[in-house]
């Protein structure tokens, strides 16, 4: 399971950051209109099943071999969401439904340093860049990123059906 999580992390590098705290608390987590329960193909070709878990207010993510993690979402702007994915590591990224798929977004290289400084965050380079600082500051970083429009669409989770 750790190898699978590591592979997912490597494929989403430009779109996500590793973080320490909960950037999307359970109380703030919502079901995203337009994200269907069902099978999705990740950018690496691996098929996952995504299912809304109403009791826990989060998405359960699994492969045919079993559970791989949990995801929570909170609205950043109309149609744009902050997503926290947790398994062997905790990742935070921006995403939006695009048709039946889910598009992942990343900060442009021009805006990233400015927003890091504005929110008192550090950036620890690694296989997956880590944002260092309080979870609230990380969430605010993404709110300002969404408001700025200085982000680009990256890979997609492609919906395969139910």
Mean pLDDT, residues 115-131 taken together: 94
What is the pLDDT, as a whole number, of residue 67?
86
- Which residue reads 């492969």 in tokens? 63
Mean pLDDT, residues 93-122 taken together: 96
State how far the Cα of 155 lies from the Cα of 162, in Å rounded to an integer. Answer: 21
Mean per-residue pLDDT over the chain, rounded: 90
With 70 as the cut, is the pLDDT of residue 111 above it?
yes
| pLDDT tens sequence across 14-45 | 678 999 999 999 999 999 999 999 999 988 88
What is the pLDDT, as a whole number, of residue 94?
96
What is the pLDDT, as a whole number, of residue 26?
93
Residues with Cβ within 8 Å of 29's Cβ and at least 6 positions away in sequence, in order, are 57, 58, 72, 73, 74
- Provide, rounded to the nearest whole percent, the portion of the chain with pLDDT above 90: 79
What is the pLDDT, as a whole number, of residue 43?
81
User: Are 138 and 25 in contact, with CB atoms under 8 Å apart?
Assistant: no
What is the pLDDT, as a whole number, of residue 87?
87
Beta bridge partners of 107: 151
| pLDDT tens sequence across 2-14 | 444 444 444 444 6
What is the pLDDT, as a whole number, of residue 5?
43
Structure tokens at 74: 């909170």
Mean pLDDT, residues 61-86 taken together: 94
Structure tokens at 91: 């990742």
State how far the Cα of 69 lies from the Cα of 90, in Å rounded to an integer. Answer: 10
State how far the Cα of 102 lies from the Cα of 123, in Å rounded to an integer. Answer: 26
pTM above 0.85, yes or no: yes
Task: Report residue 89's pLDDT band, with 50, 70 and 90 as the boundaries.
Answer: confident
């Amino acid at each position: 399971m750790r190898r699978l999580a590591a592979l997912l992390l490597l494929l989403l590098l430009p779109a996500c950051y590793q973080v320490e705290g909960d950037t999307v608390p359970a109380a703030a987590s919502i079901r995203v209109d337009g994200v269907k329960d069902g099978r999705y193909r990740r950018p690496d070709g691996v098929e996952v099943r995504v299912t809304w878990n109403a009791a826990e207010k989060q998405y359960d993510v699994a492969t045919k071999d079993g559970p791989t993690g949990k995801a929570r979402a909170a609205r950043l702007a109309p149609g744009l969401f902050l997503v926290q994915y947790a398994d062997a590591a905790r990742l935070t990224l921006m995403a939006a439904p695009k048709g039946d798929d889910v598009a992942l977004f990343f900060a442009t290289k021009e805006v990233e340093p400015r927003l890091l400084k504005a929110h008192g965050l550090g950036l620890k380079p690694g296989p997956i860049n880590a944002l260092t600082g309080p979870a609230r500051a990380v969430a605010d970083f993404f709110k300002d990123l969404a408001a700025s429009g200085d982000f680009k669409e990256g890979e997609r989770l492609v919906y395969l059906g139910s």
